[in-house]
Structure 1
Amino acid sequence: MERPTVTLRNFEESDLDDFMEWATDEEVYRFSMRETFKSREEAEFYIKNEAMGHPWLKAICVEGRAVGSISLYRGLGNSSCRAEIGYLVARNCWGKGIASQAVKLCLSTAFTDMPDLERIEGLVEPENVASQKVLEKAGFVKEALLRKFFTAKGKTRDFYSYRFLSEDLPHSM
């Protein structure tokens, strides 16, 4: 089976229809901190006012179509040396290596795009084995289990903490 070619790019207003296919899927958002999008208007507002203006939020694309998103949220002040990665891909893209390719593409530019960035962190729930595999394939190292770390969607959750350091970046990326 041939792996699809994955690219990352900024979101565009024309991504709305593709975005709606996965951003309204409860299963895609199962482990997300945010809820699914409930209307076309809500999704359009998000793309125009949040996604397009975000410092590092990209559409994950296959053959030019947005099939997911990947983001880096940089810490502030004393935490500006680190950023947290987040990603989602459409359910019909699961198990095809698309998320792994997207994370690797992110790593290949993140440390250049964000001067003085030294660490990228991924927080993954223990039940989200697929996402753990994505990070591990990209070279992230599991550091710890953070018990009762974050409350989202009315539930306090445990997370594995993963890290990727700037010095872990292969020179060939």
Structure 2
Amino acid sequence: MTAAFIRFVPDDVDDLVAFLTGEDWPFHVGRPEAEAVRRRAADGHYDDADERTFWVVSEGERAGLIRLQDLADEGPVFDLRVRAAHRGRGLGGQAVRWLTGHLFTELPGITRIEGTTRQDNLAMRAVFRGAGFVKEAHYRRAWPGRDGRLYDSVAYAILRSDWETGEVTPVAWEDEPRP
């Protein structure tokens, strides 16, 4: 299954509302309210100088959504959502590889791309690793869940130099002086 990536435009707002409010997003706090999505879209939240949104289109359907954020920074971040009916088919990996190439090609000033997920989102963690991202942080009890629990959060990143060479620069975890 091959995906296409199509930039969000303001005329897509009804589809965006339906997408975000019509699905269960198990690793997000909950579904946003329709009016909140409309308000944020009207304010340019999904497409402005610092943020861009793309549809992940598969088999003629809007199967996912990518939000690229902090585009003015040297290390932008992203949010990826894939509809339940399309999960487990490789779209997440395609999307992360696409957004990595897109950002490093379109924004020559960025040095890295970052993403976070809940510790128990094993599928997304595998997507990160498969796309050349490296685990850089583990935040204990930092991600609020719908059930009121605090889950651990893990952060991954890819460096431009790693993307260009295909090499993975390991994190120097043991860099603290020993007493």
Range of TM-score over shorter length: 0.7 to 0.9
Q: Which moved more, 1:119-128 or 1:48-57?
A: 48-57
Check whether the contact 1:8–1:59 (CA below 8 A) recurs between aligned residues: yes
Q: What is the CA distance between 1:64 and its match in structure 2?
A: 4.5
Please give the secondary structure, in 2, of the residue aligned with 1:51: coil
Check whether the contact 1:21–1:90 (CA below 8 A) recurs between aligned residues: no
Deviations 1:139-160 (CA, angstroms, capped at 9, x unpaired)? 1112232223455766544211
Counterparts of 1:137-148 in structure 2, within 5 Å, are 137-148=130-141
Counterparts of 1:33-44 in structure 2, within 5 Å, are 35-39=30-34, 41-44=35-38
Check whether the contact 2:133–2:158 (CA below 8 A) recurs between aligned residues: yes
The answer on 1:162 being equivalent to 2:162 is no
- Residue 75 of structure 2: aligned partner: 82
The whole-number CA distance in structure 1 between the counterparts of 2:68 and 2:22 is 22
TM-score, scaled to structure 2: 0.74
Please give the secondary structure, in 2, of the residue aligned with 1:105: helix
Counterparts of 1:92-171 in structure 2, within 5 Å, are 92-150=85-143, 156-170=150-164
- Residue 9 of structure 2: aligned partner: 12
Q: Whose RCO is larger (CA < 8 A, sep 6+)?
A: 1
Deviations 1:68-98 (CA, angstroms, capped at 9, x unpaired)? 211222276xxx3212121001111100111
1:55 aligned residue (45, 51, 55)? 51
TM-score, scaled to structure 1: 0.76
Check whether the contact 2:6–2:54 (CA below 8 A) recurs between aligned residues: yes
Count of aligned pairs = 163
Structure with bigger gyration radius = 2
Please give the secondary structure, in 2, of the residue aligned with 1:27: coil
What 5-or-longer segments of structure 1 have no aligned partner?
Answer: none
Instruction: Report the aligned-residue RMSD.
Output: 2.8
Q: Rate the CA distance shift 1:90–1:15 in 2: closer, same or farther, 3 A.
A: farther
- Residue 68 of structure 1: aligned partner: 64
The one-letter amino acid of 1:36's match is R
Check whether the contact 2:46–2:67 (CA below 8 A) recurs between aligned residues: no
* Matched-pair identity in %: 26
Q: Rate the CA distance shift 1:42–1:150 in 2: closer, same or farther, 3 A.
A: closer
Q: What is the CA distance between 1:170 and its match in structure 2?
A: 4.4
Q: Rate the CA distance shift 1:25–1:136 in 2: closer, same or farther, 3 A.
A: farther
Counterparts of 1:21-40 in structure 2, within 5 Å, are 21-25=18-22, 27-28=24-25, 30-32=26-28, 35-39=30-34
The whole-number CA distance in structure 2 between the counterparts of 1:17 and 1:137 is 33
